[in-house]
Structure 1
């Protein structure tokens, strides 16, 4: 599998959050925590479940609980994808 990047993650984040206009995913968001981006735990949960289902990977509970930024989530996604390959 090719690396899952920020563009793919932003697409999933937007889909998972619905049509909320308060969420800004423009610019360099890699190191901004999800809460500051406007994502609550439900939106993040939906994002993670989408990634697991569509990429056929499993993220550990520990990885999910410590994931606070898009960069950290991308690292976890790509690590799990590499292990699954």
Structure 2
């Protein structure tokens, strides 16, 4: 489990790279863009979700990773869960 109580853009970028290759490289400019528009399919999102859950010891709802989800909404959701699990 990660030792930090905050999930950052760098953390998400690292997980995106590990799960889906180099697609996370331009993420900083795309925080408000839906994952689907960034080229992440449902399988990649499941992998990303699983990695976050394992690394941070939290359980994500499906909501942050479906439909209109954006990198920023995922970061916010993870941080909210981390804040309540401390």
TM class by shorter-chain length? 0.7 to 0.9
Correspondence for 2:13: 10
TM-score (norm 2): 0.81
In 1, distance between residues paired with 2:67 and 2:84?
A: 19
Q: Report deviation, 1:83.
A: 1.0
Instruction: Verify the 8 A CA contact 2:32 2:72 in the aligned structure 1.
Output: yes
Give unpaired runs (5+ residues) of structure 1.
none
TM-score (norm 1): 0.82
Equivalent pairs, count = 82
Aligned alpha-carbon RMSD (Å): 1.9
Residue 13 and residue 34 in structure 1: after superposition, are their counterparts in 2 closer, same or farther (change >3 A)? same
Per-residue CA deviations over 1:2-22 (Å, capped at 9, x if unaligned) read 31111110110111114xx6x
Q: Which has the higher helix share?
A: 2
Instruction: Verify the 8 A CA contact 1:16 1:43 in the aligned structure 2.
Output: yes
Q: Report deviation, 1:74.
A: 0.4
Give unpaired runs (5+ residues) of structure 2.
none
In 2, distance between residues paired with 1:55 and 1:67?
A: 23
Q: Report deviation, 1:62.
A: 3.6
